[in-house]
Amino acid sequence: MRSSPAAPPAVLFVCTLNYYRSRFAHLYFNHLARGTGLRAESRGLVVDRSRMQGMSYYAGQALQVVGVDVTEGDKRDPMQLTELDIRQAERLIALCRSEHEPVVAARFPTYRDRFEYWDVLDIDARHTNAALGRDCRRQVERLWMDLRRDVGVG
């Protein structure tokens, strides 16, 4: 489960718009995994580029709180999940089961069993600090600890 910048990611975080939760998860994971060869990326299930550009202000703020230096490259526009992304990722994590499982089942029925589902609610459903600072951060840290143990890095 090792990746280089040109290789497919070890972990692909997925949320609705690839603007807030999945971006925080992927950038925070990469911060934790720095120098290990493990890498994450993120995508959205229903990206609307006319509505969302760059990265959520709240995601950027939450990343700063945990010591992640957000670069211009990290602020890329949201990216739509594709079948190729799914096939290439070693591990697929959708950030909210109740919200994302039905969309995955409808859009990617062949791959629905490859997804792991967390329960990180969207910014509209929960206070920003709770969703990112507590829920998403803890899940990413737990994942990182498991992967470190499994592959013997860091």
Domain CATH number, residue 59: 3.40.50.2300
pTM for the whole thing?
0.89
Domain contains 117: yes
Question: Are 59 and 78 a contacting pair, CB within 8 Å?
Answer: no
- What SS3 state is found at 120? coil
Is 70 exceeded by the pLDDT of residue 120?
Answer: yes
Domain contains 5: no
Please give the structure tokens belonging to residue 98: 């109740």
Domain contains 17: yes
Q: HSE, CB side, 13 Å, CA atoms: give it for residue 136.
A: 34
CA distance 147 to 30: 13
Domain containing 108 equals 11-151
Domain contains 2: no
Domain contains 15: yes
Residue 126, pLDDT score: 52
Q: Tens digits of per-residue pLDDT, 31-90?
A: 999 999 899 999 999 997 767 788 988 889 889 999 998 887 788 999 999 999 999 999
Domain contains 104: yes
CA distance 23 to 88: 19
At residue 131 the predicted structure's pLDDT band, cuts being 50, 70 and 90, is low
Please give the structure tokens belonging to residue 69: 């230096």
Residue 94, pLDDT score: 98
- Where is pLDDT greater, at 3 or 50? 50
Phi, psi of 56 (to 5 degrees): -55, 135
Domain contains 3: no
Domain contains 106: yes
Residue 97, pLDDT score: 96
